[in-house]
Structure 1
Amino acid sequence: MIISQGSTVAITYTLSLDSGETVESSADGEPLTYTHGEEQLIFGLERVLEGKKAGDSFKVSIQPEDGYGAVIEEALIEVPLEHVPEEARQPGLILTAVGPEGQELQGMVAAIGETTATIDFNHPLAGQVLHFEGTILRVE
């Protein structure tokens, strides 16, 4: 059986960046299981897996536009420092904020100034080329 719309697929994979840093891996744990065509994976990876079968291996580089998108400058928001909890005033820490429609948004502290903090609401992998390597275990 080949991977097509509606297939349940199990894969093992390793995701790394241009720097060589491994971001995540299912090689030592549970495989990733998803339903093909239901946007449970990034577009570029799902497109590469289409038509493959159990036992096939894959190695692919996904450009930002087919992954988590480009970095959006408007998603870098400056907020008054008093709106950032004191214990979170360190670059790299993740904060949860409430969006204009009441939704929870995750942002990373990008910079701390004297009176403001810059919070980055882009996906952490936005703007990155994503390198996937893995094996298709099952297609049902």
Structure 2
Amino acid sequence: MQTAKRGDRVTVQYIGTLDNGRIFDSTTDETPLVFTIGAEEVFPALEREVVGMKAGETRNILLPADKAYGPRREENVLTLRREAFPADREIKVGQKLSLEFKDGKERVMLVTRVGEGEVTLDGNHPLAGMDLTFALRLDGID
């Protein structure tokens, strides 16, 4: 029976959970995860775990934070004066804003606090700093 290797296009189903058991993401039969091993379309650590699996095989995979979205970084949290934003723009906690930095790069950041004259934005991925567990089933190898 064929096993998954670098260059193969694979179809997987998964349920992703956090340490507290909360599901952060999952696939369905209608929306499986399809990727090419080695093409850096998913976490490299996840690709490595799929290598050697056979179609129909299941596996539980733990990705520590540093192999997933990385650690939370305080340098990704910014506090800006309210005047940095258009006066007529409503800014609320939970809102995502796209900011352009001096180097010309744009970055989507989450508003985490709106205070007296200041707005705090977090550019960390929501799952940064968290270990992720995947209950994974390899459905197909092309």
Same fold (TM over 0.5): yes
The one-letter code sitting in structure 2 at the alignment partner of 1:137 is: D
Q: Percent identity?
A: 32
For residues 1-140 of structure 1, what are the structure 2 equivalents within 5 Å?
Answer: 1-84=2-85, 86-90=89-93, 92-140=94-142
**Equivalent-residue separation in structure 1 for 2:102 and 2:5 (angstroms):** 38
Structure 1 position 28, deviation (Å): 4.8
Choose 112-121 or 31-40, whichever is displaced more. 112-121
Cα distance in 1 for partners of 2:141, 2:64 equals: 26
Deviations along 1:45-76, one digit per CA (max 9) or x if unpaired, are: 11211111211112122100110100111011
Flag the structure with larger Rg: 2
Partner of 1:106, secondary structure, is strand
Determine the C-alpha separation between the residues in 2 that align with 1:66 and 1:3: 21
Aligned length: 139
Contact 2:12/2:140 (<8 A) preserved: yes
Farther-moved stretch of structure 1 (107-116 vs 30-39) = 107-116
Where in structure 2 are there 5+ consecutive unaligned residues?
Answer: none
Deviation (angstroms), 1:82: 2.8
Change (3 A) 1:106 1:27: same
State the distance in 1 between where 2:10 and 2:29 align.
18
Q: CA deviation at 1:39?
A: 1.0
Name the aligned partner's letter for residue 129 of structure 2.
Answer: G
Q: How far off its partner does 1:84 sit?
A: 4.3
Q: Over residues 1-36 of structure 1, what are the superposed CA-to-partner deviations in whole Å (9 max), with x where a residue is unaligned?
A: 222111100001111212222111113531110010
| Structure 1: distance between partners of 2:82 and 2:20 | 32
- Please, what TM-score do these two structures have when normalized by structure 2? 0.88
Using structure 1 for the length normalisation, give the TM-score: 0.89
